[in-house]
Amino acid sequence: MKVALVNPAWSFDGSIYFGCRHEHLPLELGYAKALLEAAGHEALMLDGLLQDADNAALAARVADYRPDITVVTTAPTYLFWRCAPPELRVPAEFLAALAGRGGRTVAVGPHGSATPKPTLEKLGVDAVIRGECEETVVALAETSDWSQVDGVARLVDGALETRGPTMASPFVDHAPLVWPREWLANHPHHHHRFDEGPFVGHGAEVEASRGCPYDCAFCAKIDYRDKYRRRKLEHVLAEIDGLIAQGVGYLYFIDEIFLPQKALLEALIERPVVFGVQTRIDLWKPDLLELLGEAGCVSIEAGLESLTEEGREMLAKRCRMDTPELAALLVKARAHVPFVQANLIGTPTDSKEIVAHWREHLIARGVWANDPVPLYPYPSSPSYRELWGLPDDHAWERAHEHYLAAFDRFSDIQDERPRPLAELEDVCCGARA
């Protein structure tokens, strides 16, 4: 089978999307391509940003390739599945440009995972994969009878048919990925890097572990990237060595929660590369923070979320430390790592005065703490389910309306008021049954 794997040309005008808008390596498509080729299939992988191509140009390249199957993702790479743009405008635009020239069509991503029926309707694809997608893409290439493939949802005479649970990749054995040289050359972006540099070499995203053993209320990972798994160290290091040989000077570990892993950190000390991570600061001991800095970490994004114990409890953080202890660890980290950020979420327990006090405290000690961002109740998060139960066919619309209505002020990282979902999807997405 010939399979086209497409990360479309993203745009975010009017979106609530608060993830990064730069280019990132589409790891999910990279794994799928490697698995497809290992199984004897052919694959063409395209990326709008990394190849500087708009959706019409991507569609034309897919059409020239004449694939049997075209796979498009509904989030800008695995890094952002937990905070994807709610609207399906961009993948819909790509599929409209493709206009049936890509064989059978499949959408992968958080939308089809949580709400398969509206995703199928809005995009008009033949199938969606529910959950992590790489092995299931291969399973679809292996058979023409998609009704028998676990993790796949389809519309049959307008009714939803799903088979099996949402999928979790075994992940631990994923072989080292190799990216086209020109993609890396088009990836100057050092994700979430704000130190003074020097910024040497291309940027790249890698994945040493997937999932997280916690269940924070706001975290959209119930349907994918949930259970914690650690990838074989030799594969991670082989991938990193290949990237360094191709001119990469900065790595971003997309791991939900970069847990202390001494062997990985010790291996990184010897390598000419610096890196960034997202983690929970309460899981690090002072000596390991020192090792993290020694290994080349230049950016830590730590999810503190709330500055009060009640707030952290409300968000189900399961954090055993109090705020002064957490602040002290962040300051300790900053002694070894040049950029440390404490992520904050707007919670009713945290008064303006508390927020101002701790932000000043941290910023004065070199730790960045953002103005608290509002919480978006993604359909794959416990927050959504606590508010409204299991996601139904209007889950994204409901979450979006709630988000727009519940907050009268928006974070300093959002510079325009987001638009309603129906408006964002009006032009591109097909009429819903």
Residues engaged in binding ligand SF4 (CB under 6 A): 212, 214-216, 219, 221, 256-257, 280, 303
CB of 354 to ligand SF4, least distance (A): 21
Q: Phi first, then psi: what are they for 286, rounded to 5°?
A: -55, -40
Any bridge partners for residue 203, and if so which?
A: 250
CB of 256 to ligand SF4, least distance (A): 4
Helix (H, G, I), strand (E, B) or coil at 239: helix
Residue placing its CB nearer to ligand SF4 in the complex, 192 or 280: 280
Residue placing its CB nearer to ligand SF4 in the complex, 24 or 221: 221
Phi/psi zone of residue 312: left (φ > 0), alpha (ψ -120 to 50 degrees), beta? alpha
Q: Please name the helix (run of DSSP H) or strand (run of DSSP E) that holds residue 209, with its range, or none.
A: strand 209-210
CB of 14 to ligand SF4, least distance (A): 26
Give one DSSP letter per residue of 118-138, joined into a string: HHHHHH--SEEE-B--HHHHH
Residue placing its CB nearer to ligand SF4 in the complex, 15 or 278: 278
Cα-Cα-Cα-Cα dihedral sign, residues 183, 233, 20, 286: negative
Residue placing its CB nearer to ligand SF4 in the complex, 105 or 169: 169
Residue placing its CB nearer to ligand SF4 in the complex, 199 or 214: 214
CB of 8 to ligand SF4, least distance (A): 26
Residue placing its CB nearer to ligand SF4 in the complex, 7 or 383: 383
Which pair of tokens denotes residue 143? 């058979």
Residue placing its CB nearer to ligand SF4 in the complex, 83 or 139: 83
Residue placing its CB nearer to ligand SF4 in the complex, 215 or 241: 215
Question: In whole angstroms, what separates CA 127 from the centre of its chain?
Answer: 21
Residue 146 near residue 159 (C-beta atoms within 8 A): no
CB of 415 to ligand SF4, least distance (A): 25
CB of 297 to ligand SF4, least distance (A): 18
CB of 421 to ligand SF4, least distance (A): 24
Closest to 194 in 3D by CA, of 375, 392, 341, 7: 341
Which amino acid type is present at position 9? A
What's the count of helices (H) and strands (E) in the chain, helices before strands? 16, 15
Give one DSSP letter per residue of 331-362, joined into a string: HHHHTTSS-EEEEEB--TTS-HHHHHHHHHHH
Any bridge partners for residue 299, and if so which?
A: 276
Which amino acid type is present at position 430? G
Residue 262 CB burial class (10 angstroms; 0-12, 13-18, ≥19): exposed
β-strand 159-163 against 297-305: which pairing, if any?
Answer: unpaired
CB of 77 to ligand SF4, least distance (A): 16
